[in-house]
Structure 1
Amino acid sequence: MNSNLIRRYVVVGSRRTSNYIWAIICAIGGIDFLLTGLSSYFNLNLLPIIHADNIIFFPQGLVMCFYGLLGLIFSCYLGLTILWSVGGGFNIFDKQNGIVRIFRWGFPGKNRRIDLTYPIDEVTAIRLELKDGLNPRRTIYLCVKGQRQIPLTRVGQPMTLEEIEVLAAELAQFLQKDLI
C-alpha cells in the first residue's frame, strides 16, 4: 500500500524461489545417496540406475548413507524455514499515526514475532550500505535515536544498485529524514 500518508513494504524472507529449489535438490540428492548406501549394505539394487555390487559398504556405502542423511536433514531444515516463513514480514511507515513498524517472523518459540514500533520523531536518518565484491551487501538501515540501526531490506537476494538507491531515496524523502 503506497499512499501519501502510509507506505507498506513486504519482506519475503525464506519463502524465496531459490530456497524452494534448494530444498527439492537437497531432498532428491539426499534420498539418492541414502538409497545408494543402503543398496551397498543389502547388496540389492534399490535404485535401478545404480549397481550396488560395484560399491563396498565400508567405507563408500557408509559415507553415502551419511551424506544422504545430511542432505535430508538440510532439506527438512529448509522446508521448515519456508513453512514458518522465517525472516518474512513487512515494514510500515505511517505518517498519519506518526509511527514506523517493522515486523518479522522468526523461528518458533517465545520470540517468534519480532515487532518493533518507533515514533517517526525517533528516526534520525536512513542509511544505505553498499558493499560490492564476492559477497555483495546492499542494505537500507533505519537509524533511530540511541545509535540503533535496523535493517529494512531482505537478506540473501541483493537488490540491484538502482533499485536500492531509488528505494532509499523514496523512503528518506517520505519520512523527511537525511539519507546517509
Structure 2
Amino acid sequence: MIMVDVFLPFVALVLIVGLLVHVQEHNCLRSGHLMRRFQEDAWLYTIPGARKPINFFWASFTLLGSLGVLFIAASSYFGRNFFSLNSSDFVVPFLPQGATLTFYGIAGLFVSFHWWILILWNVGSGYNLYDRKIGMVRLFRYGFPGENRCILSHVRVEDILALQFYAKPEPRTGVLYMYTREQGAVPLTPLDDYYDRTPRASVFQTASDLAAFLDVPLEIIL
C-alpha cells in the first residue's frame, strides 16, 4: 500500500509532463522548425538525444531497484515478509534499517524520474541540415520545456572556416566541430556521452564527406 501511494504520483506526473511536451513538439512542427529537405544539395544529420538504449536501461534499472527497496521497507513496516508465504520469516526491523531503506527507495524513485523525464523530453536530440543550394547550415536541438524548448541556429556556409576533428585518447571515439568566423567552434557531434559515442572511424568518414560536400578544409587535431 505504501509503494502504491508513493509510485502513483510519479506515474501521473510523468504522463502529464509527457502530454505537455508532446503539445510543445507539435508547436515546433507547426512553426516550421523541423522542416527537412532531402535533395542532392542538402545533407541531413540526425542527433539521437536522450532516447538511447543505455538511458532506457538505467531508467528501468533504477526504477525496479527502487521499487524493490521500497517493497522490503514495506515488509519491515508491516512486520511481514511479503517475499515469502510464511509470514514468520525474518523481517528487517523498521528502525533503523527499514526507515533507511525507505529513504533510499524514495531517492531512487527521484533519480529514475529524472531519467524518464529526460527520455520523454528527448533533450539534446535534433538534426544538422547542410543546405548547399542556399548556402546555409541549420542546427536544431530540443532543450528543456519552456522558451528554449526548440533551439534553432543558422550558420552561413561562407562563414565556415574549417571542420575540426578532435581525436580523443580513447581508441574509438572522436568529436567533430565546425569552426566559424563569428561563433567560433560549434560541436556537430555529442560531447559528453561516453557510452553511446559514434566510433571514431565513422565520425572521421562523416567529417571527410561533409568537408567535401561543403568545400571547406578539414583539420585533424590530436
Q: Same fold (TM over 0.5)?
A: yes
In structure 2, what is the equivalent of residue 154 of structure 1? 190
For the structure 1 residues 149 and 47, does the alpha-carbon distance in structure 2 shift closer, same or farther, using more than 3 Å as the test?
farther
Flag structure 2 segments of 5+ consecutive residues without an equivalent: 1-36
Deviation of residue 95 (structure 1)? 0.5
Please say if 1:9 is aligned against 2:45: yes
Deviations 1:43-86 (A, max 9, x none): 1234449x884312222212211221122111111111111111
What is the Cα deviation at residue 137 of structure 1? 5.4
* Equivalent in 86, 97, 106 of residue 60 of structure 1: 97
Amino acid aligned to 2:177: Y
Instruction: Confirm or deny: 8 A CA contact 1:40 1:53 kept in the other structure.
Output: no
- Counterpart CA distance in 2 for 1:60 and 1:148 is 54
Distance in 1 between the 2:139 and 2:99 partners?
47
Change (3 A) 1:48 1:79: farther
1:43–1:53 CA contact under 8 A, matched in 2? no
Match for residue 76 of structure 1 among 80, 96, 113: 113
3-state DSSP of counterpart to 1:143: strand
**TM-score normalised by structure 1 residue count:** 0.89
Query: Whole-Å Cα distance in 2 between the matches of residues 26 and 118 of structure 1?
Result: 40
Q: When the two structures are aligned, how many residues end up with a matched partner?
A: 179
Which amino acid is the alignment partner of residue 39 of structure 1? S
Indicate yes or no: 2:76 matched with 1:40. yes
Q: Which residue of 2 aligns with 1:127?
A: 164
Q: Which runs of 4+ in 1 moved over 2 A?
A: 1-4, 44-49, 51-54
- Cα displacement (A) at 1:133: 4.0
Q: 146, 158, 168: which is aligned to 2:207? A: 168
Task: Report percent identity of matched pairs.
Answer: 31
Unaligned runs of at least 5 residues, structure 1: none
8 Å CA contact retained: 2:173, 2:199: no
Q: What is the CA–CA distance in structure 1 between the aligned matches of 2:83 and 2:136, rounded to whole Å?
A: 59
The 3 A distance-change label for structure 1 pair 168 and 82 is same
Q: 2 CA distance for matches of 1:59 and 1:72?
A: 20
Q: Secondary structure at the match of 2:186?
A: strand
